[in-house]
């Protein structure tokens, strides 16, 4: 086998054989296939796709590149959730402790930012002392003592995906459905969770722009999970508008804590509860009420224990960017559109995301929204605030916001898009 012949097969719209897939994943993991060669193959997959057989084999090869975890020693059933990524998508932060407070164990392996979408680990690392990297033994200990853990996948878990995940971010191949499906499901199946709920985002701020592509991705992943004995269900959720009122690392942590305290934006609370109910149902827990666990403080208690167990200080002040720039409403009326992609790119350009896999992120950078579609705004009042440590980035961020919102005449009616669009099981 050689990398060039594998690349040519997919470049010419051919079907990769099981032997080609097994070889290229193994060789890339070992370093025999170079990043530039895997980049070419990833682009060919993005442009020409894979059939169901190829995706299943690619996923199995990713799983086989490393170890598999075992949570059978836990006294609770396990349930996990994965989001395909969006703007302002901080749902994992309140969701994991909430589901744990209701009786499930939540082994949440999360990732870093991809392009304009934020990464859960980047967000949590804005908490002083918090550690994303845990050994398998440490992960199991935190899970056993607190009921939830959010951490990076260890080096031994699907190492092929760890390399490819970072490469996709910087080569314009994040949106490839076969690569998204195999990346997510290889980690989740190797992780060993008993059930999995997928949050597949749809809209301008998601990697899946159309409902048809989102259905295809969701159905592919549900099939992969079911075939490997993991009870899997997917929700298609709206990402045409940012979730909540913040996009950025420390900004989103602050908003997540507000949700755990019983407040927070309505759309974040709604989606958190919808996913919690799906996770609890998949885990076989029928009598728990996640809304009650938010209201009575039990979810917050789990959050504090979970953060402390990973070295973080839940009482510490979160980082604040050194510079702010306020974007004001150009006219009075009703905000009818706020484009998630434009806001996400602005946050990324301000320093909340990375352009290269080795780039650092700014903990305090991002965008704070002061209005959402349906809200009345007044000319000259704040529409959003940009945060960064590097003010020279303001102009670049503002470019991405040009044309990203519409304001209609006062009194214009606005019909909100549902947060949850469809369910696929």
383-411 pLDDT, tens digit each:
999 999 999 999 999 999 999 999 999 99
3-state secondary structure of 338: strand
**pLDDT band per the 50, 70, 90 thresholds, residue 117:** confident
Residue 385 bridge partners (DSSP): 326, 368
Residue 212 pLDDT greater than 80, yes or no: yes
The pLDDT tens digits of the residues spanning 230-267 come to 999 999 999 999 999 999 999 999 999 999 999 999 99
The pLDDT tens digits of the residues spanning 290-335 come to 999 999 999 999 999 999 999 999 999 999 999 999 999 999 999 9
Residue 115 pLDDT greater than 80, yes or no: no
**pLDDT band per the 50, 70, 90 thresholds, residue 357:** low
Structure pTM? 0.90
Q: Yes or no: say if 190 and 69 are a contact pair by the CB < 8 Å rule.
A: yes
Domain architecture of the chain: domains with CATH: 3-49 (1.20.970.10), 80-309 (3.40.1030.10), 323-408 (3.90.1170.30)
Quick one: what percent of the chain has pLDDT higher than 90? Answer: 86
Distance CA 83, CA 87 (A): 11
- What mean pLDDT, rounded, does the chain reach? 95
**Catalytic machinery residues:** 82, 161, 168, 183, 187
Cα-trace Rg, the chain: 21
Could you tell me the two tokens for 335? 């905000």
Q: What is the mean pLDDT of the segment spanning 41-46?
A: 98
Residue 104 pLDDT greater than 70, yes or no: yes
Could you say which DSSP state residue 349 is in?
I
Q: CA 396 → CA 19, 166, 249, 284, distances in Å? A: 46, 24, 19, 49
The pLDDT tens digits of the residues spanning 138-169 come to 999 999 999 999 999 877 888 999 899 889 87
Q: What angle do CA 178, 179, 181 make, to 5 degrees?
A: 65
The pLDDT tens digits of the residues spanning 267-280 come to 999 999 999 999 99
Q: Yes or no: say if 80 and 107 are a contact pair by the CB < 8 Å rule.
A: yes
Res 14: pLDDT:
98
**pLDDT band per the 50, 70, 90 thresholds, residue 197:** very high
Other CB atoms within 10 A of residue 75 CB: 6
Question: Angle at which helices 159-169 and 18-30 pack, to 10 degrees?
Answer: 80
Residue 219 pLDDT greater than 90, yes or no: yes
* Among 108, 138, 103, CA closest to 123: 108
Beta strands, E only, 29-179: 80-83, 106-110, 148-152
């Amino acid at each position: 086998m050689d990398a060039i012949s594998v690349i040519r097969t997919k470049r010419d719209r051919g079907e990769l054989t099981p032997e080609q897939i097994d070889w290229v994943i193994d060789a890339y993991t070992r370093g025999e296939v170079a990043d530039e060669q895997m980049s070419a193959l990833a682009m060919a997959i993005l442009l020409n796709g894979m059939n169901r057989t190829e995706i299943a084999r690619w996923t199995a090869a990713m799983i086989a590149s490393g170890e598999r975890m075992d949570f059978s020693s836990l006294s609770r059933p396990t349930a996990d959730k994965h989001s395909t990524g969006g703007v302002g998508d901080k749902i994992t932060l309140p969701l994991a402790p909430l589901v744990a407070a209701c009786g499930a164990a939540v082994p949440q392996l999360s990732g870093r930012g991809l392009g304009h979408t934020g990464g859960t680990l980047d967000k949590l690392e804005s908490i002083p002392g918090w550690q994303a990297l845990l050994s398998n033994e440490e992960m199991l200990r935190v899970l056993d003592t607190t009921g939830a853990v959010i951490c990076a996948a260890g080096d031994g878990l699907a190492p092929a995906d760890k390399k490819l995940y970072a490469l996709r971010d910087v080569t314009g191949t994040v949106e490839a459905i076969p690569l998204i499906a195999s990346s997510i499901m290889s980690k989740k199946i190797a992780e060993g969770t008993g059930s999995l709920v997928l949050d597949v985002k749809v809209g301008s701020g998601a990697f899946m722009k159309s409902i048809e592509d989102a259905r295809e991705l969701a159905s592919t992943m549900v099939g992969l999970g079911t075939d490997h004995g993991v009870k899997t269900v997917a929700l298609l959720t709206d990402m045409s508008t940012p979730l909540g009122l913040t996009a950025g690392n420390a900004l989103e942590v602050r908003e997540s804590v507000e949700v755990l305290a019983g407040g927070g934006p309505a759309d974040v609370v709604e989606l958190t509860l919808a996913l919690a109910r799906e996770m609890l149902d998949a885990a076989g827990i029928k009598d728990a009420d996640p809304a009650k666990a938010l209201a009575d403080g039990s979810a917050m208690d789990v959050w504090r224990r979970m953060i402390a167990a990973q070295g973080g200080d839940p009482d510490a002040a979160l980082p604040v960017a050194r510079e702010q720039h306020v974007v004001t409403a150009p006219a009075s009326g009703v905000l009818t559109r706020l484009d998630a992609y434009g806001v996400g790119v602005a946050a990324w350009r301000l320093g909340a995301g990375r352009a290269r896999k080795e780039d650092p992120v700014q903990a305090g950078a991002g965008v704070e929204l002061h209005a959402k579609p349906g809200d009345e705004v007044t000319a000259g009042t704040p529409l959003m605030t940009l945060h960064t440590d590097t003010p020279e980035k303001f102009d670049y961020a503002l470019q991405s916001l040009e044309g990203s919102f519409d304001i209609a005449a006062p009194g214009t009616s606005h019909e909100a898009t549902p947060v949850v669009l469809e369910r696929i099981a």
